[in-house]
Structure 1
């Protein structure tokens, strides 16, 4: 009889632990954003033609790469670049989410040296401390990259790359393009004329 009581007590304790663990809410997942369209809007300072380029992923999360049209900018011109991210399948702007979760996101930029007179160099994809003129910052005063400024150089052609990184609990003043997961990694042909 004593054995039966011990066995029954062990069974009750086991059931109690299982029911407690089942009642606990699951840990929130920190999933990558689904982005199938990226819009780059270059607005010249002091007026002039706004240049809008839309990159799209024709099959969403399928194997086809993004289609990235050429970007054509005027030489020796100051531009403000605004970047928009969208999930067209759900008709959702991901831009607001990236901004609201700025402490988890950063856009890194890279380009062919000589495309821009400001910032100079080739961007911060290869070296985090290289110059990029960020205009937006997260709650920790770290750059996000949805808004930046650029001054084109003389007539030339080269690559312009942007990488949106998702860095939850990883973004710091020294985190790099290798930190976290890439939500988007696009390279455009940029023409300065």
Structure 2
């Protein structure tokens, strides 16, 4: 009985925090449409440019991280949050991000159980890896695996999650000539 009360309290607390968080999300215009084509357009615009990170991960690490997330949606995440989280707080968070058209999350936190972000090491190769992951996802017809936090998502929801995730990470990446 006590465990159920704690879980209910955590879920209600999560709703309050997420509701407040909804209004704290950025309201700026996304760099492109919130779909796979928009993401590809943005990534194509980065090809051949010298990129820097304002803080945290390097651009190559960011691209590898985003590619991992896309690949894991098709291949399975190495670790999942507890079932109660993936059926309550996680989907609620995704619905807030989806409704707001923006995501805000810890931009330096690796996917649980994910491999290191070191390969490929060059920005150009990591960007190509990410573009390949988006292309693979766009053509993917198989069953998608549950997101480690959001739980079960269909192809359209996953596409939106991947694009919002990318755009959130790109908020810390600039062209070298714009970083000053």
Instruction: Using CA pairs under 8 Å that are at least 6 residues apart, name the structure with larger relative contact order, 1 or 2.
Output: 2
- TM-score after normalising by structure 1: 0.23
- TM-score after normalising by structure 2: 0.24
Instruction: Name the structure where strand makes up a greater proportion of residues.
Output: 1
Instruction: Name the structure where helix makes up a greater proportion of residues.
Output: 2
